[in-house]
Amino acid sequence: MLLTISTTHIPATDLGYLLHKHPDRLQCFPMAFGQASVFYPEASAERCTAALLLDVDPIGLVRGKSKSDDRPIEQYVNDRPYVASSFLSVALAKVFRTALSGHCKDRPELAETAIPLTVKLSVLPCRGGEKFLRQMFEPLGYQVTAKPLILDEQFPEWGASPYFAVELQNTMRLADLLSHLYVLIPVLDDDKHYWVGDDEIDKLLRHGEGWLNSHPARQQIADRYLKRQRRLTRLAVAQLAEEDHTDSEKVEVSRALEEEVLEQRISLNEQRLEAVMTVLKASGAQRVVDLGCGEGKLLRLLLAESALAKPSQRIAQITGVDVSFRALEIAKERLQVDRFSPAQQSRLQLIQSSLIYRDSRLTDFDAAAVIEVIEHLDLERLAAFERVLFEFIRPKIAIVTTPNIEYNVRFENLQAGKFRHRDHRFEWTRNEFQTWANKVGEGFGFGVEFRSVGSEDLEVGSPTQMAIFTR
């Protein structure tokens, strides 16, 4: 299997800097499944081509594996050594790791520059045909040339194959090109040679950053990339959708700050967390889940509380759940998880999951906190979340807080008619919230008590409203 990358950027030999591979040398990299080699068939100032040759060893792949009885020959004789597949993606990530990350020590500005690039893939399996191939690359601005490869020239009656010789042209950053190839090659092949688990979502989102979210075929890409495991695809797409609403989570984080600034005068955030902690402590809960934990402010208080408590009264399990990978990364960083003792580490768990789907990891909790989260869910998804919380997780106590929209008129910096945060799908009056909470409590067999959080205004109530559900 051969992949070549060419440029006519002048001087073209700068490609060697970008790829961190010297044009004069042949370099070999042992892989778990064979060997990858990099060399330059041409390297002049006008045009430079780097080639990645992948040798997949089909015998080595089978060695040590249990024998497959139904297709004994196929495990030795197959297309894997000859086609671009997930083996190539793994090789790209290993051999061109720095280039893929967009770094270049010697030519940092070049790594940031769009340069003319041409990629040739000798054999690319395209399940879904040329149309699907074009649907993958054309929205990203590539000029695509595809030559179908027939199965065997001597037997034209055998017909077409899923294989194409493909050429892709674009002017872009090399790192972007490598990310596109890394994700889309296994998508086109519709297969992976390794087990696909939760960490594959992170890989997809990391390498899809900046382009996957706006790709018209993002659902299909996620679906195939995650080997059609519905739970994983849903999670990935939910996160992409989150980004969609906010453009990017970086913006999300700064908007969260805006909301904080808006509410700062009364340090509402702190009062809210304090109110939640008071209820949690009084409940004596030992296993607490913070649903939509964001950057982990409540988790921090829970950890501090559990560190201070006597062992017998200690909160034994603190779990934070959020759909946003970035929010969880920030939480990890802020909580300084790696500095914890092993005992503390075992107490804390961070789970990436969407609250509108059941997740088997979320069972056996005494208490659930859902702080300023429901207003981020689409109204039509709220019923799904209610079932997850009250029927599936079914804690003894659940604390839900949400803004009281009536109070918004008291925020001087908030334009009339605007929500407190651009990602809020709704904000409720006291009456709307209480009607919802009473209906839900009744439906799922929970009693409900309401509290106000923050300074109470005679006319419009308090800025935050809280419902405590118990059973």
Q: Are 295 and 334 in contact (CB under 8 A)?
A: yes
In whole angstroms, the minimum distance from the beta carbon of 440 to ligand SAH comes to 17
Q: Are 101 and 206 in contact (CB under 8 A)?
A: no
Q: Assess 294 for contact with ligand SAH (CB under 6 A).
A: yes
Among 376, 404, 408, 465, the residue binding ligand SAH under the rule CB under 6 A is 376
**Cβ atoms within 10 Å of 208's Cβ, excluding its own:** 22
Identify which of residues 324 and 404 has a Cβ nearer to ligand SAH in the complex: 324
Identify which of residues 136 and 355 has a Cβ nearer to ligand SAH in the complex: 355
Draw the binding track, 216-245, toward ligand SAH (x: CB under 6 A; -: no contact).
Answer: ----------------------x-------
Identify which of residues 70 and 380 has a Cβ nearer to ligand SAH in the complex: 380
Stretch that binds ligand SAH, among 124-132, 278-286, 318-326, 333-341 (CB under 6 A): 318-326
| 297, 333, 175, 164: CA torsion to nearest 10 | -70
> What is the distance between the alpha carbons of residues 404 and 27, in angstroms, rounded to a whole number?
63
Q: Assess 263 for contact with ligand SAH (CB under 6 A).
A: no
Helix axes 249-263, 268-283, angle to 10 degrees: 90
- Name the token pair of 383: 């019923």
Q: Assess 326 for contact with ligand SAH (CB under 6 A).
A: no
- Name the token pair of 115: 């340069």
Among 324, 402, 462, 465, the residue binding ligand SAH under the rule CB under 6 A is 324
In whole angstroms, the minimum distance from the beta carbon of 350 to ligand SAH comes to 12
Q: Which residues pair with 350 in a beta bridge?
A: 320
Ranges within 332-371 binding ligand SAH (CB under 6 A):
354-356, 371
| 131, 133, 136, 141: CA torsion to nearest 10 | -90
> What is the distance between the alpha carbons of residues 89 and 100, in angstroms, rounded to a whole number?
11
Q: Assess 297 for contact with ligand SAH (CB under 6 A).
A: yes
Give the C-alpha distances (Å, rounded to integers) separating 210 from 114, 175, 407, 409, 423: 15, 12, 37, 37, 20
Q: Assess 373 for contact with ligand SAH (CB under 6 A).
A: yes
Stretch that binds ligand SAH, among 7-15, 22-30, 329-337, 372-380 (CB under 6 A): 372-380
Q: Assess 34 for contact with ligand SAH (CB under 6 A).
A: no
In whole angstroms, the minimum distance from the beta carbon of 430 to ligand SAH comes to 20
| Chain position whose Cβ is nearest to ligand SAH | 294
Among 323, 335, 399, 466, the residue binding ligand SAH under the rule CB under 6 A is 323
> What is the distance between the alpha carbons of residues 277 and 233, in angstroms, rounded to a whole number?
35
> What is the distance between the alpha carbons of residues 262 and 265, in angstroms, rounded to a whole number?
7
> What is the distance between the alpha carbons of residues 176 and 364, in angstroms, rounded to a whole number?
43
Q: Assess 372 for contact with ligand SAH (CB under 6 A).
A: yes
Q: Assess 246 for contact with ligand SAH (CB under 6 A).
A: no
Binding site residues, ligand SAH, CB under 6 A: 238, 292-294, 297, 322-324, 327, 354-356, 371-373, 376-377
